[in-house]
Structure 1
Amino acid sequence: MNTSSRFAFAVHVLALLSLQGGVPLSSEMIAGSVNTNPALIRRLLTMLAQAGLTTSQLGAGGGALLARAPEQITLLEVYHAVEDTQLLALHREDPNPACMVGRHIQSVLRGVIDEAQQAMEASLGTRTLADATADVVRAEKQRERRRRAQA
């Protein structure tokens, strides 16, 4: 069973860009933070740009930038920009219709899965990139306080 990390990578990239104060970042610099390949970051940035979340600055010193303020980007927009499947999925192959469970499980799960997807999307719709970035900054401040307390 596969899971996608595109959403997590995309929020990471956007949070990094939001903390740069308008300074463009290259895919190589972003990849260093995400700890992945720059080609993967470029594909992700293309998806984010198509959704109107990032833009690029060409030339020397160029790179990726946020297209809008972090407060104006919901995590739901990020999710829709990079994910092409639902969070949960039904069987890839039809279950056995000769089995009572096989005959009915798809219809039973369809409602449960749709409800879970709607709840997740509702939650992501209430959170912005600014919220995620503020949480990163807050976590770093707590880390620094603990480090100083241990020294």
Structure 2
Amino acid sequence: MNSRFSTAVHILTLLASTPQERLTSEFIAASVGTNPVVIRRQLALLRQANLVSSKGARGGGWELARDPARITLKQVRTALGVEAAFRMHRNEPHPNCSVGQGIRGVLENVYEEVEKSVMRSLAHWTIADMLKRIEPSS
């Protein structure tokens, strides 16, 4: 996974922390510590997945499109089209090397299992869970 996933979770958790307000991309960018353009690109992907919505003009901004308890980290990762955790190297193995000829198939199976495990784990975590861990109840 890359930093886009972390940024998206940050954005969604920030929006969940302010359910009565719409936040501008500039405000969100200040929280994340990045450029508003980066945030707008992420928000566009999250909107396509129906995770956020926006309102333009006066009083406009971004908000969650659904309850944060119904947004899983798996949905976030899927919305972003984040690459698999591991990838094969692009080099062609030597044709006479038995390890080189067999390693791709072996590693592809391992990587597939890792990916399934990651997605199963992400399916159990929600944006509400993230917010609870940041703002524990007293």
Question: Could you tell me whether the CA contact under 8 Å between 2:72 and 2:124 is conserved in 1?
Answer: yes
Aligned-partner SS, 1:97: coil
- Unaligned stretches of 5+ residues in structure 2: none
For the 8 Å contact 2:22–2:63, the answer to whether it is kept is yes
Task: Name the TM-score, length of structure 1 as normaliser.
Answer: 0.86
Query: What is the TM-score with the length of structure 2 in the denominator?
Result: 0.94
Post-superposition CA distance 1:55-106 (Å, at most 9, x none): 0011112111100000111110001011342111112233222222211110
Which of 75, 82, 85 is matched with 2:83 structurally? Answer: 85
Q: Which runs of 4+ in 1 moved over 3 A?
A: none
| Matched-pair contact (CA < 8 Å) for 1:47–1:82 | yes
Query: 1:23-61, CA deviations, whole angstroms, 9 ceiling, x for partnerless residues?
Result: 110000000000001000000000000001000011112
Q: Distance in 2 between matches of 1:93 and 1:80?
A: 28
2:127 pairs with 111, 124, 129, which one? 129
Structure 1: gaps spanning 5 or more residues: 142-151
Tell me the C-alpha RMSD between the 2 structures.
1.5
Partner Cα separation in structure 2 for residue 14 and residue 82 of structure 1: 13
How many percent of aligned residue pairs carry the same amino acid? Answer: 42
